[in-house]
Structure 1
Amino acid sequence: MKNSKRFSIEERILKWTKRHKKRNTIYTSIILIIAIVLLVFVMTSQKIEPVKAMDKGQGDIRMTYLGNVELNNHIRKNNINEAFGAIKPILKGSDYSTASLQVSKFSDDRKTNINKNLENIMFLRDLNIKSLNLINQVTDNVTARDLMKSVEAQSGYNYLTGNGSNAINSKTVQQTVKDKKIANVSFTDVESDYTDTLKNTTSVSLEPNIYIPLIKKLKENNDYVVVNVDWGITDERSVTTRQREYAHSLVDAGADVIIGHNSVVQEIEKYKDTSIFYSLGNVTSEDFLSKNKQGLAVQQNWNGGQSQFTVTPIKSQGGQITKSNPNKVEEIKLLNNIEGKDINFKKENGGYVYEH
């Protein structure tokens, strides 16, 4: 009887690898199938929940404020009517509302770009957004100017705040709502350390020698002044000293509410008689980071003197907007992030209510 040949260590490893190769392929396939099934289950089990509208007292003016909206080619592959279904009720029930839209580059053809962005703007107008702030970082000044002309021709009134990239620009939206005059103006902090000073901003430069006289004049001629601000900061959850100083200065000049626009949610602060929403985050975003798919929808009931606010967390999920339902830990983090020292939230109807 022949003695069996003893394998070397290298031969033993090779033999073991061959023996388990088939098993490993089977195991990998099984794990992959389970992962796909779980992913499909999670996506199909996520429910789209609408944002609940506040009760409105007789004579109250309902105002709604939203953060950044992005409607580029990728997002528009979905049905955008369905995508905005969760916030349609609060917009349709509003007497006044405003948001901020990022201008998208759809094509190298200038005319196509204008027409596609015009479609986006008119879509938001049809949702009952009464005035719109444009964020433009992709088109040249001439295209931005012609886009605005097209919008004004279709809307029949000053619908967009700002007009091109001139540093001094007094274009505002002023409307009468239930016998009250409401003005809206948008500023961009083009001198911020965080922003590209060469970007083609479509709003007024945030400079004291420009905004102080402008807001004072608006306050003299209107009952309520809504100020949108693009701080030029992305992915920063903490309010900077620069933001706070400028926001307080805007209030001192006459702003009645400040709506900030960054990519993530920031603090809400009471300063004098004004609520400052440093950033409402994003309504829709293509960014894969989950924190950039989150935002706040703000409803305000104003009786001509006092206001009641409802702040509802929202998020973009599976191509649709939905009311966000954070777990306990997530809720604590959210409240620590947005609740200023003088804000006392009361949880109600899936949102957070406070008076000012």
Structure 2
Amino acid sequence: MKKTKKFSIEERILKWTKRHKKRNSIYTGVILAIALVLLVFAVTAQKVEPVKAMGKGQNEIKFTYLGNVDLNKHIRKNNLKESFAAISDVLKGSDYSTASLKMAKFSNDRKTNINKNLENVLFLKGLNFKSLSVINEVTDNITARDFMKSVESQAGYNYLTGNGSNPINSKTVQQTVKGKKIANVSFTDVESDYTDPIKNTTSISLEPNIYVPLIKKLKEKNDFVVVNVDWGITDERSVTTRQKEYAHSLSDAGADVIIGHNSVIQEIEKYKHTDIFYSLGNVTSEGFLSKNKQGLVVQQNWNGKQSKFMVTPIKSQGGKITKSTPNTVEERKLLNNIKGNGIELKKENGGYVYEH
């Protein structure tokens, strides 16, 4: 009887590999197909929920405030109208709306950068933004100046505030809305911990000897003064002592509403006659941290004396803005983070309301 040849370890492994090669290919194909289905499901399951607009009385002016808007070349690969669809109704129904727009670098060509950033401004103007505060971290003063001139020729002089270039550091926006004069001005805390010194030369400095007389003058000539502040702090949820001191000083000078612009959401405070939103976070962002993709939409109805506010959390997902629907734990964390002095929030229409 012929003896069976014994295989070496290498030969056994080779025989096993050949036997299972075809089966492994099938397994791999099935796994890839399942992964693809799950990926498609995850993308399609991202439901966009619109922010509900707060109703207003006949004699009220409705304001809408938003945080940082980034429309760089990567974000612009999306359909921007679809990206902003969740807040379009709120903006259309507003009498006055403002946000902070980051200038983006699209190429090394100066003219291209000006034209592309101008397109961003005109897109937001088309959504019914009445003024924008521009944050410049990417261009030199000459480019910023020429950009401002391009915007003024297309959108009018009273559209962009602050953050232009040295010759127009005192640029403010003053408009008449339903018979009331509204002023908007933007400041940057240039003494804060900036990584890019170019910011120090492209904004009105947040210094008392500059902003106190400026805001007092604006308040004398206007019925309502909206102040935007870039605090120069990133990814910090807690409000610093410095922020508090400057915000209270801005209020004492005559600011009616203070809108802070950091990369994350910070608390809301009632101080004397002023409502202070230390940071509304981001509207759109490419930051990889989830907290950098979160923000607040603030709606205000003002009758000339009193106001009702509605604060609605939003987030950016899949290239689109949507109303955020936090679970119980997330909601508790959010409310603990934003409820400052004098604030009692009541849940209403997917947001949180209070009066002042």
Structure 2 length-normalised TM: 0.92
Corresponding residue number in structure 2 for 1:129: 129
Of the structure 1 ranges 161-170 and 344-353, higher mean CA displacement relative to structure 2 is found in 161-170
Corresponding residue number in structure 2 for 1:253: 253
Corresponding residue number in structure 1 for 2:338: 338
Q: 1:163 to 1:324 in 2, by over 3 A?
A: closer
Q: Give the counterpart letter for 1:224 in structure 2.
A: F
Shift of 1:292: 1.2
Corresponding residue number in structure 1 for 2:159: 159
Q: Give the counterpart letter for 1:346 in structure 2.
A: K
Of the structure 1 ranges 240-249 and 192-201, higher mean CA displacement relative to structure 2 is found in 192-201
1:240 and 1:94 map into 2 onto residues whose CA distance is: 32
Corresponding residue number in structure 2 for 1:305: 305
Q: Which ranges in structure 1 are unaligned for 5 or more consecutive residues?
A: none
Shift of 1:225: 0.6
Corresponding residue number in structure 1 for 2:53: 53
Which secondary structure state, in structure 2, belongs to the residue aligned with residue 199 of structure 1?
A: helix
Which secondary structure state, in structure 1, belongs to the residue aligned with residue 47 of structure 2?
A: coil
Corresponding residue number in structure 2 for 1:106: 106
Corresponding residue number in structure 2 for 1:91: 91
Q: Give the counterpart letter for 1:292 in structure 2.
A: N
1:348 and 1:21 map into 2 onto residues whose CA distance is: 60
Paired residue total: 356
Do structure 1's residue 190 and structure 2's residue 187 form an aligned pair? no
CA offset digits 1:294-327 (Å, max 9, x no partner): 1111000001111100001111122111111111
Which secondary structure state, in structure 1, belongs to the residue aligned with residue 86 of structure 2?
A: coil
Contact 2:133 2:163 in 1 (8 A): no
Q: 1:20 to 1:157 in 2, by over 3 A?
A: same
Contact 1:191 1:197 in 2 (8 A): no
Corresponding residue number in structure 2 for 1:350: 350
Q: Give the counterpart letter for 1:274 in structure 2.
A: T
Structure 1 length-normalised TM: 0.92
CA offset digits 1:166-207 (Å, max 9, x no partner): 398321001111221110000011110244333365421111
Of the structure 1 ranges 180-189 and 160-169, higher mean CA displacement relative to structure 2 is found in 160-169
Aligned-residue identity in percent: 81
CA offset digits 1:37-68 (Å, max 9, x no partner): 22211210222111111110120000000111
Q: Give the counterpart letter for 1:71 in structure 2.
A: L
Q: 1:210 to 1:14 in 2, by over 3 A?
A: farther
CA offset digits 1:14-34 (Å, max 9, x no partner): 988887777666555544432
Contact 1:233 1:263 in 2 (8 A): yes
Contact 2:134 2:164 in 1 (8 A): no
Contact 1:268 1:340 in 2 (8 A): yes
1:22 and 1:288 map into 2 onto residues whose CA distance is: 40
Shift of 1:8: 9.2
CA offset digits 1:100-128 (Å, max 9, x no partner): 10001111111111111111101111111
Of the structure 1 ranges 286-295 and 173-182, higher mean CA displacement relative to structure 2 is found in 286-295
Corresponding residue number in structure 2 for 1:283: 283
Contact 1:137 1:200 in 2 (8 A): no
Which secondary structure state, in structure 1, belongs to the residue aligned with residue 288 of structure 2?
A: coil
2:17 and 2:216 map into 1 onto residues whose CA distance is: 78
Corresponding residue number in structure 1 for 2:176: 176
2:163 and 2:333 map into 1 onto residues whose CA distance is: 38
Q: 1:17 to 1:147 in 2, by over 3 A?
A: same
Q: 1:198 to 1:31 in 2, by over 3 A?
A: same
2:58 and 2:213 map into 1 onto residues whose CA distance is: 35
1:3 and 1:236 map into 2 onto residues whose CA distance is: 77
Corresponding residue number in structure 1 for 2:44: 44
Corresponding residue number in structure 1 for 2:324: 324
Which secondary structure state, in structure 2, belongs to the residue aligned with residue 286 of structure 1?
A: coil
Contact 2:136 2:163 in 1 (8 A): no
Q: Give the counterpart letter for 2:36 in structure 1.
A: I
Which secondary structure state, in structure 2, belongs to the residue aligned with residue 352 of structure 1?
A: strand
Q: Give the counterpart letter for 1:128 in structure 2.
A: N
1:343 and 1:28 map into 2 onto residues whose CA distance is: 56
Contact 1:82 1:320 in 2 (8 A): yes
Corresponding residue number in structure 1 for 2:224: 224
Contact 1:134 1:203 in 2 (8 A): no
Contact 2:50 2:87 in 1 (8 A): yes
Which secondary structure state, in structure 2, belongs to the residue aligned with residue 340 of structure 1?
A: coil
Q: How does 1:4-23 map to 2 (within 5 A)?
A: none
Q: How does 1:232-251 map to 2 (within 5 A)?
A: 232-251=232-251
2:233 and 2:86 map into 1 onto residues whose CA distance is: 28
